[in-house]
């Protein structure tokens, strides 16, 4: 490597540094706060960037044993897994039909699903709260299982349509000439080829429903029904008193499932994120 290339490379890294600090620092500070003793946390003369007086797990133990945090996390998991599975199934068959089959109004249906993909949840939460009540699901986590697919299905459908289009038609036709029905061809030929797309859709659906906030905040309120992000942001704050240590511990712990997925499937996240805009 000659000198000019090396200098350029070092300069690129240096220029990236502020961006990386900006992106990562809030998480560092969050984790740090969750491990600090209250004495140091609320000392205005202490350096906030480090732990000087030794770390503690008291905020975590308090969170786990003295609040409903585990219960909220269980709710989050249940809602997220169910909503993801439902949306993936509905999205897969819809995407296959829209990408591959010729039938009445297929084009406008595709456009319609794309449009619902753009409708922000904050436009619909008020009337949807009424619908949820009519369905008898007021203040129930099942309301979330039912409503999360409204934004997950358009996303999965849109993403998977792109993947199904990349599977050559001939592969499927060969199977059908050999006597397979269309559904068999879909199940045995097309879906196995589209596995990366399915993984990507599942990851995004999981992430989007785990991170959902406005519906969860609006449709559920009692401590037995709420999800982790709602629990941490509402129940841990009593009046005007913020228990910052436990709040940060809750934010860290409730992010753990997503971070684990993220570390293992980073490349899928990158490709899924760009697929929404590029395809």
Partner 1 sequence: MAIGSVGVVTASARPSLRARLSELLDRESWLGPIFVSPALVLLLLLVAYPFFMALYFSVSNAFIGRPSNFIGIRNFVRLWESDAFRQTFQNAFVFCGAAVGAKVVLGISLALLLNQQLWFKRMIRGAVLLPWVIPTALSTLGWSWMFNSLYSVVNWTLLAIGIIDPPGPNWLGQKYYAMAAVIIVNIWRGLPFFAITLLAGLVAIPKELYEAAEADGAGPIARFWYVTLPLLKGVLGIVVLFSTIFTFSEFNIIYVLTHGGPMNSTHLFATLARQVGLETGRIGEGAAISLYLFPALMIVVWAQLRFVRKQAY
Q: Is 277 exposed, middle or buried (0-12, 13-18, 19+ CB in 10 A)?
A: exposed
Among 157, 187, 156, which Cα is nearest to 172's?
Answer: 187
**DSSP code, position 189:** I
Minimum Å distance from CB 227 to partner 1?
A: 9
Minimum Å distance from CB 54 to partner 1?
A: 19
> Nearer Cβ to partner 1, position 195 or 270?
270
> Nearer Cβ to partner 1, position 58 or 244?
244
> Nearer Cβ to partner 1, position 22 or 65?
22
| Paired tokens of 231 | 């629990």
Minimum Å distance from CB 108 to partner 1?
A: 9
Asked whether 144 and 83 are in contact (CB, 8 A), the reply is: yes
> In 3-state terms, what secondary structure has residue 243?
coil
Question: How many whole angstroms separate alpha carbon 129 and alpha carbon 124?
Answer: 9
Minimum Å distance from CB 22 to partner 1?
A: 7
| Paired tokens of 114 | 């794309």
> Nearer Cβ to partner 1, position 65 or 104?
104
Q: How many CA atoms lie within 13 A of 277 on its CB side?
A: 4
Minimum Å distance from CB 129 to partner 1?
A: 7
> Nearer Cβ to partner 1, position 241 or 278?
278
Question: How many whole angstroms separate alpha carbon 75 and alpha carbon 176?
Answer: 44
* C-alpha 218, offset from chain centre: 18
E strands present in the chain = 237-238, 241-242
> Nearer Cβ to partner 1, position 56 or 158?
158
Minimum Å distance from CB 74 to partner 1?
A: 16
Q: CB count, 10 Å around CB of 86?
A: 17
Minimum Å distance from CB 101 to partner 1?
A: 4
Asked whether 227 and 76 are in contact (CB, 8 A), the reply is: yes
> Nearer Cβ to partner 1, position 56 or 255?
255
């Amino acid at each position: 490597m000659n000198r000019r290339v090396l200098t350029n490379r070092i300069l690129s890294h240096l220029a990236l540094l502020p961006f990386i600090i900006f992106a990562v620092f809030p998480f560092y500070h969050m984790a740090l706060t969750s491990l600090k003793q209250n004495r140091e946390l609320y000392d205005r003369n202490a350096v906030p960037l480090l732990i000087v007086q030794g770390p503690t797990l008291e905020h975590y133990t308090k969170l786990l044993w003295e609040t409903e945090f585990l219960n909220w996390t269980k709710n989050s998991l249940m809602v997220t897994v169910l909503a993801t599975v439902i949306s993936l199934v509905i999205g897969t068959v819809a995407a296959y039909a829209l990408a591959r089959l010729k039938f009445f109004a297929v084009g406008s249906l595709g456009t319609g699903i794309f449009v619902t993909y753009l409708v922000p949840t904050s436009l619909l939460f008020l009337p949807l709260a009424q619908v949820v009540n009519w369905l008898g699901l007021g203040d129930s986590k099942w309301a979330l299982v039912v409503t999360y697919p409204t934004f997950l299905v358009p996303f999965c459908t849109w993403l998977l349509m792109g993947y199904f289009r990349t599977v050559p038609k001939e592969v499927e036709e060969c199977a059908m000439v050999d006597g397979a029905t269309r559904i068999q061809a879909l199940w045995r030929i097309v879906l196995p080829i589209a596995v990366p797309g399915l993984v990507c859709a599942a990851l995004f659906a999981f992430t989007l429903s785990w991170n959902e906030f406005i519906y969860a905040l609006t449709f559920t309120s009692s401590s037995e029904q709420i999800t982790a992000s709602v629990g941490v942001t509402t129940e841990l704050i009593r009046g005007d008193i913020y228990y910052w240590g436990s709040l940060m511990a809750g934010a860290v712990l409730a992010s753990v499932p997503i971070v684990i997925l993220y570390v293992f499937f980073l490349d899928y996240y990158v490709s899924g994120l760009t697929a929404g805009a590029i395809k």
